[in-house]
Structure 1
Amino acid sequence: MNKPVLLALLASTMLATAAQADVTLTIESWRNDDLAIWQQTLIPAFEAANPGIRLVFAPTAPADYNAVLNSKLDAGSAGDLITCRPFDASLELYNKGKLADLTALGAMANFSDVAKSAWQTDDGSATFCVPMASVIHGFIYNADIFAELGLEVPKTEAEFFAVLEKIKEEGSYIPMAMGAQDQWEAATMGYQNIGPTYWKGEEGRKALIAGTSKLTDEAWVAPFATLAKWKDYLGDGFEAQTYPDSQNLFTLGRAAIYPTGSWEIGVFNPQVSFKMGAFAPPVVNAGDTCYISDHTDIALGMNAGTKHPEETKKFLEWVGSAEFATLYANALPGFFSLNATPVTMEDPLAQEFVSWRDSCQPTIRSTYQILSRGTPNLENETWNASANVLRGSETPEDAGKRLQEGLSSWYEPQK
């Protein structure tokens, strides 16, 4: 064999070996609005430091994610990395052997027990997803409208309704943008937003799990009663208004207040032409303790069936690092790092939300841990009840009674 041919064969072999050495990992996620952030910021940062490992971010529409992911996992076609919802949905995947145990991962030392709790077994013996971020509930407002109408940011419930009444009386703007069509909106951005103020955050949530508190108690019915009062300030046709409709009403400057959470910051920033502000859920009476839903929202796990466990773990170690925390929190303002290393955020609205941690007691959404494992599912039933109360088709008392009957029918501590 002559020398040129030999060299060509050698080069060909080397190229083939290099190509074989490249491993491609696929990330499953419901956050389809994050695609650009992963492609332009996160993935390039990892790949630059880890030649030979390539990543593909392959999201599914949020409403379809659970069903699609379960089908892929059952068929053995799911990606190597699984974006994890908090608590029961991911715990079920772990219990079925679909998510790997990541307890021994070195990066887990960078997270507190509270941060890891949303992705652990009930006894805390196994952690199966690396925590990424939490979101904080509250109210975003159009600061230009507030200035124009001479409105002060409300701190108490009475002040909150006084502001809504002034906006309504002036008549130029819808006081508050929220619809009842999608149901989850009324629950997540309504009931779960203001509710912790009434049931005293973790105290009430844990009492419900323990069975020492019931959904017919005043602490759980009262936020429904407050929610029912919102309907006078939501504008015409709110009953048929969807979540995107509500977003548009606010970003177009037609509504003054938007009950929501920090997850909207990155969505709204490029859309609005006015200054935005945010305020925490108002307390019932001046001097009361402030409570916020600081909800552990998103994490990343390893498909137990991945063909590339070592490379997947290497990426997860990076996801648990301070470098990733800083990149993610600033690329996606409003999703707050759960890493123990403090992250400096550049977005002022995100900084406003996270500042409430200094003055308010944190909790998570009341239905997410343990209480939605049975049928009827308390999370989904709370969506329906909140929308009904908002529309006025169900009284707060009847909503509480129905939810309690459903929970009592399968959850032993509530029987």
Structure 2
Amino acid sequence: MAYTISRHYLAAAAAGCALALSFAASAQAEVKLAFLVDNAPATVKAAEALAAAFHARNPDITIEVEARAAGGEGDNIVKTRLATGEMTDVFMYNAGSLFHALNPQQNMLDLTDEPYQSDIMDTFKAVVSENDRIYGAPFQTAMGGGVLYNRKIYAELGLEVPKTWAEFMKNNEAIKAKGGVAPVIQTFRDTWTSQLFVLGDFYNVLQAVPDFPEKYTANQIKYATTPAALRGFEHQAEVFNAGYLNEDFGSASYDDGLRMVSKGEGAHYPMLTFAIGNLFENYRDDIDNVGFFALPGDDAATNGLTAWMANGIYGYAQTEYPDEVKKFIAFVAGKEGCDTQTEAVGAIGPYMTKSCTLPDDVPPATKDLVAYFAEGGRNAPALEFLSPVKGPALEQITVEIGSGIRSPLDGAKLYDEDVRKQALQLGLPGWE
């Protein structure tokens, strides 16, 4: 039997094919990028706000935010994903020493020639660069390592912000004598929160030993044999031995710590200032109760802040969509990206993009932080931005010291050994 195909049928078929091809082309044009960030509430909210704002401007690109653990567990997740080739298209990670440990030349997109780099502060570009190539852009703001404190408790007891460790301990004693309030909050359920007495003390180490980073990197100086560096470990033991900690310090979480300091259940919480974003998200009604000061050392005349650069946002070198990834990173690093983050999680600290500004109505803790960056303010980078060496086991060691399980000297010796292993992995000269 012969079959006759009409012209109308052929025309309809041709139209259908064209429509199908059109749908196929449209489907191909839609790109989905996965963006890995840590699971701090403020980080996730900022990332989701950026993803939504970017998609509104670029409807053909969808950003799917994925959260991972923070601290050492999160560090292992990032390294494992890179090692197995399963990293997301875009990911947030530390700048500085931990960045170098990720082998950026192999694992990250080169962002050196992106136009927005001229708007990024040189101090930030230096900590996401290797062999004169730039691999990252800033995500969120610069931070300080110090102490969040309850301003109402200070006002009630007539306390002043301490400029020395002796003054800090005197304030703690006054708070303990009042009763009902923990002078110092510790939250060892989230082990990464245990490190601030050591890491936040580095500004004070630099005042005593200005060439510490160079000698440390060259294996010419140790924490355990340098009194100024050992002090951070000793401080952590001192607050435990004095009975200043909250009773549940071993099981309390990071969020518990934020609740306690904002609601006056505790007076001092050693922490990085990115926590201001989490206060804004979860305890906004109490955020004006919280101030911030740098971790004090032995000399009021040299009081200053240990500063952390913003986290980096990086593109995975093996992504299927390098152009789209670079477009998203450019958005995050630009003024619109800064404004999106501020609207989402509040003004946490100074941005690393020159064109980005903060609103006037920032929380008190942010004002306290920015003062250390203003003209006449005192700050210096954390050690991880001056040396490629940082041992991954510090958070476990400081939990032991802060719980009275290990002495400060033994903890410092153990950390020196942890650092030695990391330096050997990096192939640094002078280590064996």
- Shared fold (TM-score greater than 0.5)? yes
Instruction: Please tell me whether residue 85 in structure 1 is matched to residue 94 in structure 2.
Output: yes
Cα distance in structure 1, aligned partners of 2:306 and 2:33: 34
In structure 2, the residue matched to 1:362 is 380
1:135 aligns with 2:143: yes
Distance, in Å, in 2 between the alignment partners of 1:220 and 1:395 is 15
CA distance in 1, matches of 2:326, 2:247: 52
Distance 1:356 1:260 in 2: 16
Corresponding letter in the other structure for 2:99: S
- Find out whether 1:218 has 2:199 as its counterpart: no
Counterpart secondary structure, 1:306: coil
TM-score normalised over the length of structure 1: 0.85
Q: CA deviation at 1:255?
A: 0.7
Q: CA separation of 1:182/1:108 partners in 2, compared to 1, >3 Å: closer, same or farther? A: same
1:72/1:407 Cα in 2 relative to 1: closer, same or farther (>3 Å)?
A: closer
Q: What residue is the counterpart of 2:403 in the other structure? A: 391
Q: Distance in 2 between matches of 1:70 and 1:158?
A: 41
Q: Match for 1:263: what amino acid? A: F
CA gap 1:163/1:48 in 2 versus in 1, 3 angstroms: same
> Residue 246 of structure 2 corresponds to which residue in structure 1?
235
Q: Distance in 1 between matches of 2:265 and 2:290?
A: 13
2:343 and 2:179 map into 1 onto residues whose CA distance is 37
* Structure 1 partner of 2:3: none
- Correspondence for 2:162: 154
- Superposition pairs of residues 346-357 of structure 1, within 5 angstroms: 346-348=361-363, 349-357=365-373
- CA contact 1:368–1:379 (8 Å) conserved in 2: no
Trace 1:16-415 onto structure 2 (pairs within 5 A): 16-31=24-39, 33=41, 34-39=43-48, 41-62=49-70, 64-95=73-104, 97-121=106-130, 124-132=131-139, 133-180=141-188, 182-187=190-195, 189-200=196-207, 203-215=211-223, 216-231=225-240, 232=242, 233-269=244-280, 270-271=282-283, 273-274=285-286, 275-287=289-301, 289-332=302-345, 333-334=347-348, 336-345=350-359, 346-348=361-363, 349-358=365-374, 359-366=377-384, 369-372=387-390, 378-380=391-393, 382-407=394-419, 410=424, 412-413=429-430
Flag the 1:197–1:330 CA change in 2: closer, same or farther, 3 A. Answer: farther
How far apart, in 2, do the equivalents of 1:230 and 1:268 lie? Answer: 24
Please give the alpha-carbon distance, in whole angstroms, between the structure 1 residues aligned to 2:320 and 2:248. 52
Structure 1: runs of 5 or more not aligned: 373-377
Question: Quick one: structure 1 residues 367 and 407, their matched pair in 2 at CA, closer, same or farther if it must change by over 3 Å?
Answer: farther
C-alpha spacing 1:224/1:331, structure 2 compared with 1 (3 Å): same
- Distance of 1:367 and 1:379 partners within structure 2: 15
Q: For residues 14 and 112 of structure 1, do their structure 2 counterparts lie closer, same or farther at Cα, with a shift above 3 Å needed?
A: same
Which amino acid counterpart does residue 235 of structure 1 have in structure 2? N
Query: Cα RMSD between the aligned structures?
Result: 3.0
**Amino acid in the other structure paired with 2:221:** S
Q: Give the paired residue count.
A: 404
Which residue number corresponds to residue 4 of structure 2?
A: none
Distance 2:417 2:100 in 1: 25
Alignment-mate amino acid for residue 413 of structure 1:
G
C-alpha displacement at 1:319, in angstroms?
2.4
Cα-to-partner distance string for 1:35-91 (whole Å, 9 max, x where unaligned):
33333x322322233342222212223354444444444554432212232234433
| Separation in structure 2 between the aligned mates of residue 54 and residue 183 of structure 1, nearest angstrom | 34
Displacement of 1:347 in angstroms is 2.2
Alpha-carbon distance in structure 1 between the residues aligned to 2:246 and 2:77: 36
Between 11-20 and 213-222, the greater mean CA deviation after superposition:
11-20
Q: Counterparts of 2:66 and 2:44 in 1: how far apart (Å)? A: 8
Instruction: Give the Cα separation in 2 of the matches to 1:26 and 1:364.
Output: 30
CA distance in structure 2 between the aligned counterparts of 1:198 and 1:112, rounded to whole angstroms: 25
1:248-286: CA deviations, max 9, x gaps?
433443112211121111212332654222222224223
1:222 Cα deviation from its structure 2 partner: 2.0
Residues in 2 aligned to 1:180 and 1:368: alpha-carbon distance in whole angstroms: 27
Which residue matches 1:375?
A: none
Q: Does the CA-based 8 Å contact 1:98-1:304 persist in structure 2? A: yes
Alignment check: 8 A CA contact 2:194 2:398 kept: yes
Residues in 1 aligned to 2:314 and 2:217: alpha-carbon distance in whole angstroms: 26
Structure-2 change in CA distance of 1:48 and 1:20 (3 Å)? same
Give the drift of 1:414: 5.9
Per the alignment, in what secondary structure is the counterpart of residue 228 of structure 1? Answer: helix
TM-score, normalised with respect to structure 2: 0.82
Question: What's the offset of the Cα at 1:299?
Answer: 1.3
Aligned partners of 1:251 and 1:272 also within 8 Å: no
Amino acid at match of 2:89: D
**Equivalent pair of 2:104/2:135 in contact (CA under 8 Å):** no
Alpha carbons 1:86, 1:368 under 8 Å: kept: no
Report the Cα offset of residue 135 of structure 1: 1.9
The amino acid across from 1:60 in the alignment is: R
Indicate if the aligned counterparts of 1:136 and 1:261 stay in contact, CA closer than 8 A.
Answer: yes
1:97 partner SS: helix
Of 315-324 and 167-176, the range deviating more from structure 2: 315-324
TM-superposed deviation, 1:247: 3.4
**Structure 2: tracts of 5 or more residues without a match:** 1-6
Displacement of 1:166 in angstroms is 0.7
